[in-house]
Amino acid sequence: MKKRSIIVKGTAIAITQRGGQDYISLTDMVKGFEGAGALIENWLRAKDTILFLGAWEKVNNPDLNSLEFEGIRNEAGRNSFFLSVRRWVATVGAIGLEARAGRYGGTYAHKDIAFEFGSWLSPEFKLYLITEFQRLKELEASTSSLEWNVQRTLAKVNYRIHTDAIKEHLMPPELTKAQMNAIYANEADTLNMALFGTTAAAWRRANPRADGNIRDQASLEQLVVLSNLESINAMLIHQELDAPLRLAQLNAMAITQMRSLLNAPGMKRLNDDQRKKKP
């Protein structure tokens, strides 16, 4: 489980993820307040809190047990009413709050709910919380962008290695510039076929309104594999392997590497971040 943290008015507050969504530690949020041990339970006893939590779950949780929620809503506000996070989750099937045990134990809430809890604690505290959370997200977005650009730069460097190998081993002497470009294009399409299963021209015909070319639309995982394939193909060209054999080997490598990357922790989040940032 990936853990990050922000500092809000001198207090370190943990942030983890569940299903690609940020969850903030309410247990950490109350550390700087008097009576910290009872604040979360007191907040859960309030009628307005139950109404807000119910509204959030109805919007975000298709599996909410509405019947059980109505029962809790009717109880809320009574002097004898008590609600723990564990009871709330177990009874209504809530996803916005969590009571975690273990290394990152404590009560966590989806950021929407954590901000609402911050308002209940102190409007000033909420403003600091939102500011520091946004700072964290901007830093993460900047890091993702840097990694994305590094991969694109690496692909360009490997492409130069690739084209040099083509020039040295596949380029007959005294060709015209047009003929040279055709050979480079053919080798580029060898990589396109190995990774994308189509040529650049066929992709363009199938996607006439898309911006850029097939590689401009590549995912982060595909860019990583593409940079690897360019180096591998350069090596295979130096070994003087025929094009059909090189294509078969490159395709097998592309499948193996894509399978590994798609199962790698964090890759999906990075790729999603980049898609969100595209206009």
Decide which of 206 and 4 is more confident: 206
Average pLDDT over residues 239-246: 84
CA diameter of the chain: 93
For 131-172, write each residue's pLDDT tens digit.
Answer: 888 888 877 766 555 555 556 656 665 666 566 665 666 555
- How does pLDDT run across 163-208, given as a tens digit for each residue? 666 566 655 555 456 655 666 678 888 888 888 899 888 999 999 8
Which segments of the chain are extended strands (E)? 3-8, 11-18, 21-25, 97-100, 106-110
pLDDT at position 41: 92
Task: Say how far apart CA 162 and CA 13 lie, in whole Å.
Answer: 48
Lowest model confidence (mean pLDDT) among 61-70, 115-124, 248-257: 248-257
Q: Per DSSP, what are the bridge partners of residue 14? A: 5
Say how many C-beta atoms besides its own lie within 10 A of residue 116's C-beta.
Answer: 19
- How far apart CA 136 and CA 201 sit, in angstroms, is 42
pLDDT at 271: 54
The answer to whether residue 18 scores a pLDDT higher than 80 is yes
Cα–Cα separations (whole angstroms), residue 192 to 33, 160, 178, 229, 254: 58, 16, 20, 10, 10
Residue 242 has pLDDT above 70, yes or no: yes
What sign has the CA pseudo-torsion 29, 35, 37, 41?
Answer: negative
* pLDDT at residue 211 tops 90: no
Is residue 89 over pLDDT 90?
Answer: yes
Q: How confident is the model at residue 220 (pLDDT cuts 50, 70, 90)?
A: confident
